[in-house]
Structure 1
Amino acid sequence: MTTIDDLAKIGTSTWLDDMSRERLESGNLKELLSTKSIVGVTTNPAIFAAAMSKGTAYDADIEKLKAERAKADEAVYSLAIDDVRDACDVFQEVYEKSGGKDGRVSIEVDPRISDDGEATIAQARELWNRVGRENLMIKIPATDGSMGAISEALADGISVNVTLIFSLERYKQVIEAFKTGIRRAAANDLDVSKIHSVASFFVSRVDVEIDKRLEEIGSEDALALRGKAGVANAQQAYALYVSELENATDLPEGTNLQRPLWASTGVKNPDYSPTLYVSELAGPNTVNTMPEKTIDATLESDTLHGDTLSNSAEESAKVLEDIAAIGVDLDDVFAQLEREGVEKFVDAWNELLESVSPRLV
C-alpha cells in the first residue's frame, strides 16, 4: 500500500499529468500504473510540445507524414492521437475494473479555436472517432465560446474533461453545461451510464497570482494570507459540486456525476509543502492530476490527514472573504488566469507547430 492508495481510499483518484511516446515505448507508463498506483493520464498542448521536441521517438512517423505531405497541425494531431490511443490501451484494464471512472486518457482540442464553439465540437467529434477508445476523454476549455460545445459533446455520448476552470462563477456554468448535455444524451436514447466527465479546477496558478498581489499590498495581514487562496478556492468548488451535483434531483437515472479534478497541482513556490495541493484537496469522488514530481513527493510523504474537502466550506469561504477584503480583486484574478491559460496553451501549440513544420518539408 502506498500514500496514493490511501488517497484513493479517501476518494481521490491520481492521474499523471504528463505523456510522451518515450514513456509508452519504454514501458514507463505501464510501470507507473503498477508501482505508483496511477489510474489515468491527462495531456495538454504544452505536454505534447515538450514530448515531441525531444529525442528521436517521433522521427520515423514524421518522415512518413512528410512523404504524405501532411501539414504541421495534421501531423501533430496524428502523432498525438497514436500516443493517446496506445495510452488508452495501457489503462484499459483499470477502466474496466473501475466501471469507467478511471483508466482515462485525455486529449485536448486545438486551443486556438477555444472561442469557436462549432469548430470545437467538430474537432471533439473527430478526435473521439479517430482515437476510437471508450476510455478517452476530450478536453474542452471552459471559455464562453466553448461552453455550448461541452453540452454538445456530452449529448453525443462523448466523455469530456472540461479544463482551465479558475472561478466559481465559471464552474457554475460548467455544471449547467454538464447537466444540459447529460439530459440531451438521455433524450437521444444514449446510455448515460457510459458517459463520464471531470471538471478541471486549476490550483497552483491561483496562488501564484494572488500571492503576487498580496505581496504588493505588503501588510502583515496580507502576507499572512499567502499560499491559502488556491486550496480555499478549490474547496469552495467542491462545496459547489456537492450542492449542485451530489444533491441534484433532476438528472437522468444512471448519470455519473461530473467529478471535480484538481489540476496544476505542482507547487510553484518552494516554500510550500510539495504535497500542499494533494493533502488539502483529498475527498470523495475527486481526481488529482499530478506531474510525476508531485506523485513522488506524495509517495514519500505521510502528510495525508483524511478527507479535507467535505467539511471545508465555511473555513475556505472565510479565507477568500479575507483576501477580497484586504484588497485583492478576485474577479480580475480569475479573468486574467483564464485568459493567460488559453494564451499559454496557444503559445505552446504554435511553438510545437513551428518546430515540426521544417521537418515536413
Structure 2
Amino acid sequence: MSTTDRLGRLSEAGVSIWLDDLSRERLNSGNLAELIRDKHVVGVTTNPTIFAGALSAGDAYNDQVRALAERDADLHAAVRELTTTDVRNAADLFRDVYNATNGVDGRVSIEVDPGLAKDTEKTVAEAQDLWKTVDRPNIFVKIPATEEGLPAITRTLAEGISVNVTLIFSVERYRAVIDAFFAGLEQAKANGHDLRGIQSVASFFVSRVDAEVDKRLEAIGTEEALALRGEAAIANARLAYAAYEELFATERWQALQAQGASPQRPLWASTGVKNPEYSDTRYVDQLVVANTVNTMPEKTLFAAADHAEISGDTVSGTAGRAQEIFDKLEAAGIDVTDVFLTLENEGVEKFDKSWAELLDTVNGQLEQARS
C-alpha cells in the first residue's frame, strides 16, 4: 500500500468502505468492479432515491422493462424485479469479498418499501420476501429505525435474516436499536439459527444532523449559537460510538458472542457534505475508528481518495468533548429531541417520495414498451 493510498489507510484503520450507490450501468460497465479493485470498496448500500435515479437515467434497463411489459407484469412486481436483479448481481460481484471476510463485508443492502415504515407486520413480511427474492447470503435488508421498525428488526433477525438498520439519528434511538438487535439474536438462537450466519449494521446518519442544527443555529443568530455550526453531526456520531462500546461490553452481549454472534457495526451514512464551507471529507477523516463502516457517495469516495487526512483513530476517547458540544447546543436554544424527530420524519418522507418517483418512472417505461 502506497503512502498516498488514503482509502487503503482508512481500511487498515478498521473502517469498511462501502459505496452509497448502485445502478445497472455501474454493473454493466465494470465501474463497480473497478471500485472494488482500486478503491477498497467492500460493500454497497442502496435506497429508494438511488434506484429512482438509476431507473430514470440511460437505457440500461430497457431490455428488462420490455420483457416485463411483454409478460404484462404489474407495476410493483416490475419494480421489485428490476431492483432485486441489480442487488442480486451486485451481491454476486461481491461474493469473493464476502468469502474473504467471513461474511462481514461484501454486502449489498436493499430497503423495504418506505411506505411501510410505520407498519411492523408489513415491514417484517416485506423483509422476508426481499430476502427470499434476492436469494443471496450476502445482502442486508434495510429497515428504518422508527418506533414501529424496532420490533420488525427483532423479528427479522429472529428469522436468520441479516439487517441494515437505517435512518438512525439520535443516540437514544440507537440504544434501542442495539437492544432490538440483541433480542433478535436471542430469538434467532431459540429458533435454531446459527448466529455465525447473521450480520447487522446500524446506519447512523451524519450530514443531515449538521444541516438541520446549523439552520436552527443561524435562526437563533447569537454569537454563541453561530460558533457551534458544524459541530453537531460529528459529536453525535462520536457519542453513538461510545454507546456502541458500552453496550457491546455487557454480559448480555458476551453471552451472544460466546454463541458465535458478530457485533452490529456502526455505519456512518449520509457522509456527503452538504455545506460547501466545510471540508468535503470531514465525515470520513473525523470518524475513523475500528469496527465501523463508512458508506460514501462516489463524489465523497473520490474526494477521500484524493485528500482525506487519515491519521488514525479520531473517535475513541472523544465522548466527553462530544457531550460538551451537545450541552452547549441545548444552552444556545437547540431542542435536540425535536431535531432528531424532525430528521426521522423527513427521512421517511424523502424515501417515500423517491419510491413514488420510482413507481412513476417504471410505470412510464412499461407503458412506452407496451405501445
- What range is the shorter-chain TM-score in? over 0.9
**Structure 2 match to 1:62:** 65
Residue 34 of structure 1 is aligned with which of 33, 37, 50?
Answer: 37
Seen in structure 2, the aligned counterparts of structure 1 residues 258 and 221 have a Cα distance that, compared at 3 Å, is same
Q: Are residues 1:207 and 2:210 paired?
A: yes
Q: Are residues 1:135 and 2:141 paired?
A: no
Q: After TM superposition, list the pairs within 5 Å mapping 1:215-226 onto structure 2.
A: 215-226=218-229
Q: Which amino acid is the alignment partner of residue 125 of structure 1?
A: Q
User: For the residues of structure 2 that align with 1:250 and 1:171, how far apart are their CA atoms?
Assistant: 21
- Give deviations 1:172-225, integer Å, cap 9, x for gaps: 110110000001111112110110000000000000000000011111111111
Q: After TM superposition, list the pairs within 5 Å mapping 1:278-293 onto structure 2.
A: 278-293=284-299
- Give deviations 1:279-316, integer Å, cap 9, x for gaps: 11110100000001111111111512211111111111
User: For the residues of structure 2 that align with 1:179 and 1:213, how far apart are their CA atoms?
Assistant: 36
What is the DSSP-based 3-state SS (H/G/I as helix, E as strand, rest coil) of the residue aligned with 1:144?
A: coil
The runs of 5 or more residues in structure 2 that have no matched partner are none
Contact 1:71 1:360 in 2 (8 A): no
Residue 319 of structure 1 is aligned with which of 316, 325, 347?
Answer: 325
Q: Which amino acid is the alignment partner of residue 184 of structure 1?
A: Q
State the identity %.
Answer: 53
User: For the residues of structure 2 that align with 1:251 and 1:312, how far apart are their CA atoms?
Assistant: 28
User: For the residues of structure 1 that align with 2:360 and 2:167, how far apart are their CA atoms?
Assistant: 24
What is the DSSP-based 3-state SS (H/G/I as helix, E as strand, rest coil) of the residue aligned with 2:12?
A: helix
Could you tell me the TM-score, scaled by structure 2's length?
0.96
**Structure 2 match to 1:309:** 315
Runs of 4+ in 1 over 4 A off after TM superposition: none
Contact 1:11 1:283 in 2 (8 A): yes
**Structure 1 match to 2:186:** 183
What is the DSSP-based 3-state SS (H/G/I as helix, E as strand, rest coil) of the residue aligned with 1:107?
A: strand
**Structure 1 match to 2:254:** 249
Give the length in aligned residue pairs. 361
What is the DSSP-based 3-state SS (H/G/I as helix, E as strand, rest coil) of the residue aligned with 1:19?
A: coil
Contact 2:139 2:162 in 1 (8 A): yes
Q: Are residues 1:198 and 2:204 paired?
A: no
User: For the residues of structure 2 that align with 1:316 and 1:359, how far apart are their CA atoms?
Assistant: 49
**Structure 2 match to 1:169:** 172
Contact 1:246 1:257 in 2 (8 A): no
User: For the residues of structure 2 that align with 1:324 and 1:10, how far apart are their CA atoms?
Assistant: 33
**Structure 2 match to 1:262:** 268
User: For the residues of structure 2 that align with 1:249 and 1:81, how far apart are their CA atoms?
Assistant: 35
User: For the residues of structure 2 that align with 1:304 and 1:358, how far apart are their CA atoms?
Assistant: 46
Q: After TM superposition, list the pairs within 5 Å mapping 1:9-88 onto structure 2.
A: 9-88=12-91
Superposed displacement of residue 358, structure 1: 2.6
Q: Are residues 1:96 and 2:102 paired?
A: no
